[in-house]
Amino acid sequence: MTMIENVDLTLVGWSRAQFALTAAYHWLFVPLTLGLSFILAIMETIYVRTGKEEWKRLTRFWMTLFGINFAIGVATGIILEFEFGTNWSNYSWFVGDIFGAPLAVEGILAFFLESTFVAVMFFGWNKVSKKFHLISTWLVAIGANLSALWILVANAWMQNPIGMVFNPETARNEMVDFWAVLFNQVAIDKFLHAISSGFLLASMFVLGISSWFLIRKREELLAKRSILIAGVFGFLSSLLIAYTGDSSARTLSKVQPVKFASMEALYQGKNNAGLVAMGFLKDSDKKIEEEVIKDFVFKIELPGFLSILTGGDKTGYVPGIIDHVSGNKEKEILSVSEKINRGQYARNVLKDYKSARTAGDKEQVEKIKAVFQDKVFRENYFRYFGYAFVDNPGDVIPNVPVAFYSFHLMVMLGFFFILLFAMAVYFLFRGTISKKKWFLWIALLSIPLPYIAGELGWVLTEMGRQPWIIQDLMPVSAAVSQISSGTVITTFILFAVLFTALLISEISIMVKQIKTGPKQ
């Protein structure tokens, strides 16, 4: 890995912006693919079991919308993966042996499975048997979600790097435990939370469009059947999101404690810490290094819940941002300054290794190589390698308002979704949903909300871990490719125009297809 002394902050900023742009657009298409594929499989299963043609007609209608979304999602995803080589070459060199493995499995196994059977799913009606077509639809759904699994495993490793050792000879991290990477608790939480959010989004998509048909008094039977599937699937998915979100927060409190404290805007650690249900931040005169602390204008707090969430005990101590920056000897929390010293020591050992190799001192080379293999050195020094690039302890604090508001807005939307799907199922079984025009309009206008919640989740995930691209091992500033910022700005503008055009095209094509309705 190239040791970067002088960082072009303009290059770093635009590289981050370009990746964020691509990822944000990509995530507009992915969750609908994840969820709608399973809804299609459920509908077609009912068709095969009952033999009723209206279920086939219904399946084909939603399958057309799925296909439009699927094609554009693939295009943005390919560009996203290429950016690791073009914009983040130092990162790719440092951890490519680990990060690349899940992406390779995704391409070879999951995407191959998905792309192979998607042709049968779209064009195999009346050309293959009903059961084979149904199997193809299920395999597309499974393949799409397996693709998400491997991508999320790669991302989770960046949040909690485990299962690897550092090779000083190549200055690269190398995987030694594939199963530790795969079953990383962050990966498990992230995968379950991400796919359940996709299930919810697709359910809202189906519920909202079906509500439009009921408002227009068109295809009422098919609309109600779609609402039945979407309502039940969406309600179960919204409960799963709440559960996996809780599990994710518990994990974050251990592996990314600064992000966790920022989510709650908890600066000063405390016992019997309350969980903020709702609140607004304000600037205060207090500072941590150069970071302005945000106090609350007002907040609604659940006493003791944050302590229970993190340790299962209401009286438990929850460290705040100050604890993690300044250190807390009583709670055995290292200060950032101490981590910087340890990171610089690890970096100096690596420099000594390179000097010994250059000088041809084989005895010293072997001696230093043994240091990197030592468990104590890895756990107490090399794990803080990235802090060697940190100048100011306050730099490890992410944007607290962004983390706080993105998290709490996402949670509030989550509770709204549970209520909305429960009402949809209730009104449907009462036989009154066609008369509840107010509810149908709410369902229709709520289609964008899961998209907003999903984007907020990724904002929290990525901005909440700043300044790290790999937690504690590599800051973003050390990961960028050494290219001109003008090149990145140019491609950023091109991608912004291209992706916006694709999004507008998808929406216009979908609207046209929805207005046409299910084919006879």
Q: What is the pLDDT of residue 384?
A: 92
Mean pLDDT of 444-459: 94
pLDDT in tens, 99-124: 888 877 877 776 677 777 888 888 88
Tell me the C-alpha distance between 24 and 191, whole Å: 18
DSSP symbol at 479: T
Tell me the C-alpha distance between 407 and 198, whole Å: 18
pLDDT in tens, 358-395: 888 888 888 888 888 888 898 899 999 999 999 888 88
Residues forming beta bridges with residue 181, ordered by sequence position: none
Phi, psi (degrees; rounded to nearest 5) at 337: -60, -40
Q: What is the dihedral of CA 130, 134, 140, 141, to 10 degrees?
A: 160
Question: Closest Cα partner for 255 from 156, 378, 398?
Answer: 156
Lookup: tokens for 193 = 């939370």
Angle value at C-alpha 510, between 508 and 513, nearest 5 degrees: 110
Q: What is the pLDDT of residue 2?
A: 44
Q: What is the pLDDT of residue 289?
A: 53
Across 471-487, b (16+ Cβ under 10 Å) vs e yields: bbbbbbbbbbbeeebee
pTM for this one?
0.90
Q: What is the pLDDT of residue 429?
A: 92
Cα→Cα distances 367→195, 254, 345, 383, 385, Å: 47, 34, 16, 20, 19
Hey, is 175 helix, strand or coil? strand
Tell me the C-alpha distance between 206 and 493, whole Å: 33
% the chain with pLDDT above 70: 96
Does position 426 have pLDDT exceeding 90, yes or no? yes
Q: What is the pLDDT of residue 296?
A: 80
Instruction: Please report, as a single letter, which amino acid is at residue 333.
Output: I
Q: Are 259 and 403 in contact (CB under 8 A)?
A: yes
Phi, psi (degrees; rounded to nearest 5) at 172: -130, 150
Tell me the C-alpha distance between 121 and 51, whole Å: 18
DSSP symbol at 281: E
> Sign of torsion, CA 122 127 132 134?
positive
pLDDT in tens, 346-367: 999 999 889 888 888 888 888 8
Angle value at C-alpha 465, between 480 and 154, nearest 5 degrees: 70
Q: What is the pLDDT of residue 493?
A: 92
Q: What is the pLDDT of residue 413?
A: 94
pLDDT in tens, 408-417: 999 999 999 9
Q: What is the pLDDT of residue 1?
A: 43
Cα→Cα distances 316→87, 263, 269, Å: 43, 18, 10
Instruction: Please report, as a single letter, which amino acid is at residue 508.
Output: S
Which 3-state string (H, E, C) describes 395-428? HHCCCHHHHHHHHHHHHHHHHHHHHHHHHHHHHH
pLDDT in tens, 307-361: 888 877 788 888 889 889 988 888 888 999 999 999 999 999 999 889 888 888 8
pLDDT in tens, 161-216: 998 888 888 888 888 888 999 999 999 999 999 999 999 999 999 999 999 999 99
Question: What does 434-449 look like in DSSP terms, one character per residue?
Answer: GG-HHHHHHHHHTTHH
Cα→Cα distances 323→268, 382, 396, Å: 7, 22, 12
pLDDT in tens, 35-83: 999 999 999 999 999 989 889 999 999 999 998 888 777 777 777 777 8
Hey, is 2 helix, strand or coil? coil
Residues 6+ apart with CB under 8 A from 92: 84, 85, 99, 100
How do the domains of the chain map onto residue ranges?
A: 35-183
**Secondary element (H or E) of residue 167:** strand 164-167
Instruction: Count the neighbouring beta carbons within 10 Å of the beta carbon of residue 287.
Output: 10
Q: Are 385 and 95 in contact (CB under 8 A)?
A: no
